[in-house]
Structure 1
């Protein structure tokens, strides 16, 4: 295990291999696992959903007052 995994915890990434969804830590590659689903579409759908990070939506679902500067910056950037 790397120092970053010791401090921050593992950062799993998910991928689908047919009906099997596999995951492993992006930082150290150690924490691994697999789960079999009924169909390949289910495995792909779950892998995509689990790979979604909250940081991808930062500023879109932000609290009204707490992240107001970020909302304003995003609005100005879109123009």
Structure 2
């Protein structure tokens, strides 16, 4: 995937996957969430393997992947998925 394609996708879903920082923790940036999700979808790596690469807990990874995939579907379905 080119950097332009990544930026296009991120621009479309950024507002849906951005979280706010709190006093307890810093939010994971949307670019990292997108990168993590695309790596999971492209390679099929386990969440445990991704956990060591991104230094994010497995339960958080599962939430990120689900939320980012839902956001991608929501913004891209009209342009790329046709209902028969």
TM-score if structure 1 supplies the norm length?
Answer: 0.26
Give the number of the structure with larger relative contact order, counting CA–CA contacts within 8 Å between residues 6 or more apart: 2
TM (norm. structure 2) is 0.25
Which structure has greater helix proportion?
2
Greater C-alpha radius of gyration: 1
